Amino acid sequence: MKQLLTLTSFILFSSVATPLFAQQDRFIDDYLERLENSRKYLLLIAETMPADKYGFRATPESLTFAENLMHIGYAMDWHSQSLLGNREAREWKTDTVFKVSHKSKKEMITLIDNTFNKTIKLIKQFNTTQLDDELDYFGLNRSKRQIFLLLTDHITHHRGQMLVYMRLNGLIPPRYVLFQ
């Protein structure tokens, strides 16, 4: 009787738990596909903008094209490595890795590509049981699942600014990559 109860409990738990875990795994798979498409599009934008236009800014208080690109890298590093991966955060004001300083166009593109690689590697290894874990996000409680979504929103936000900068310089941006 005890074995029958144990077996029944196991079957019942498996029938409920398996779809839940599959859904979480699907979230990561879907997210990685979207992030890869976002990477391809961002790198295409960065390649298309001429190096002599990397210093362009729409208004005096705006970030330059290059600063937007590096800011995407910094935020991607912070969201993935620090918030999702628990590494100590870089300090934006003192960070030198993601500052434009004397970096060439090629160096910035390489840095962004490498940052995507590190982010994707971390996400592939991410423990999906932590997706609902909450942490402080600028004074708000946010789940790690929300952090994933906030990261993609942030990339899209600054990439959109970069597209406008291209238009303001008379350039035709690369065609939008659908299904991002």
Give residue 119's pLDDT. 97
User: For tokens 């599959």, what's the residue?
Assistant: 22
Residue 22's pLDDT is what? 45
DSSP letter for 130, please: G
Q: Which of 116, 44, 53, 110 is nearest to 80 (CA)?
A: 116
pTM score of the predicted model? 0.84
Q: What is the CATH code for 35-168?
A: 1.20.120.450
Please give the sequence-ordered ranges of beta strands (E in DSSP) within the chain, or none if there are none: 134-137, 140-143
User: How many beta carbons lie within 10 A of that of residue 120, not counting itself?
Assistant: 16
Place of tokens 């971390």: 122
Identify the DSSP state of 62: S
Q: What residues of the chain score a pLDDT lower than 70?
A: 1-25, 178-180
